[in-house]
Chains A and B, each alone.
Chain A
Amino acid sequence: MTSERPSVEIKLVSDPMFLAGARELILGLTHRLGFKQDASGQIALAVDEALANVINHGYERQCDQPIWIKIWTTADEDEPGLRIHIEDEAKQIDPDSICGRDLDDVKPGGLGVHIIRQVMDTVVYEKKESCGMRLKMSKRLASDTNADQPEHSHG
Chain B
Amino acid sequence: MADQADLEITWDSREGATILRPMGDVDLSRSPSLRNDIRKVFENPPEKVIVELSAVSYMDSSGVATLVEAMQLSRKSNAKLVLCCMTERVHSIFEIARLDQVFTISPDVDAALAE
Residues of A participating in the B interface, judged by any CB pair closer than 8 Å? 15-17, 19-20, 23, 38, 41-42, 45, 48-49, 52, 55-56, 103, 106-109, 111-112, 114-115, 118-119
Q: Using Cβ atoms and an 8 Å threshold, which residues of chain B touch A41?
A: 89, 92
Q: Say how far A40's CB is from chain B's closest CB, in angstroms.
A: 10
Q: Using Cβ atoms and an 8 Å threshold, which residues of chain B touch A55?
A: 28
Q: Which residue of B lies closest to A118 (CB)?
A: B96
Q: Say how far B44's CB is from chain A's closest CB, in angstroms.
A: 22
Residues of B participating in the A interface, judged by any CB pair closer than 8 Å? 4-5, 25, 27-29, 58, 60-62, 64-66, 68-69, 71-72, 88-89, 92-93, 96-99, 102
- Complex Cα distance, B27 from A103, in Å, reads 20
Q: Which of A16, A38, A108 interacts with B92 by CB under 8 Å?
A: A38
Q: Which of A38, A103, A112 interacts with B98 by CB under 8 Å?
A: A103
When the two chains form their complex, are residues B97 and A103 in contact, meaning their CB atoms are under 8 A apart? yes
When the two chains form their complex, are residues A115 and B61 in contact, meaning their CB atoms are under 8 A apart? yes
Q: Which residue of A lies closest to B32 (CB)?
A: A16
Q: Which of B60, B68, B92 interacts with A106 by CB under 8 Å?
A: B68
- Complex Cα distance, B68 from A106, in Å, reads 8
- Complex Cα distance, B65 from A55, in Å, reads 16
Q: Using Cβ atoms and an 8 Å threshold, which residues of chain B touch A109?
A: 61, 65
Q: Using Cβ atoms and an 8 Å threshold, which residues of chain B touch A17?
A: 4-5, 29
Q: Using Cβ atoms and an 8 Å threshold, which residues of chain B touch A20?
A: 4, 25, 27, 29
Q: Using Cβ atoms and an 8 Å threshold, which residues of chain B touch A112?
A: 61
Q: Using Cβ atoms and an 8 Å threshold, which residues of chain A touch B25?
A: 20
When the two chains form their complex, are residues B29 and A19 in contact, meaning their CB atoms are under 8 A apart? yes
Q: Say how far A99's CB is from chain B's closest CB, in angstroms.
A: 15
When the two chains form their complex, are residues A52 and B61 in contact, meaning their CB atoms are under 8 A apart? yes
Q: Which of B4, B60, B66, B69 interacts with A48 by CB under 8 Å?
A: B60
- Complex Cα distance, B96 from A42, in Å, reads 10
Q: Using Cβ atoms and an 8 Å threshold, which residues of chain B touch A119?
A: 96
Q: Which of A16, A42, A108 interacts with B68 by CB under 8 Å?
A: A108
When the two chains form their complex, are residues A108 and B66 in contact, meaning their CB atoms are under 8 A apart? yes
Instruction: Supply 27 A–B pairs (Cβ within 8 Å), ascending by A.
Output: A15-B29, A16-B28, A17-B4, A19-B29, A20-B4, A20-B27, A23-B27, A23-B58, A38-B88, A42-B92, A45-B93, A48-B28, A49-B60, A52-B27, A103-B97, A106-B68, A107-B68, A107-B72, A109-B61, A109-B65, A111-B64, A111-B65, A114-B97, A115-B61, A115-B96, A118-B96, A119-B96
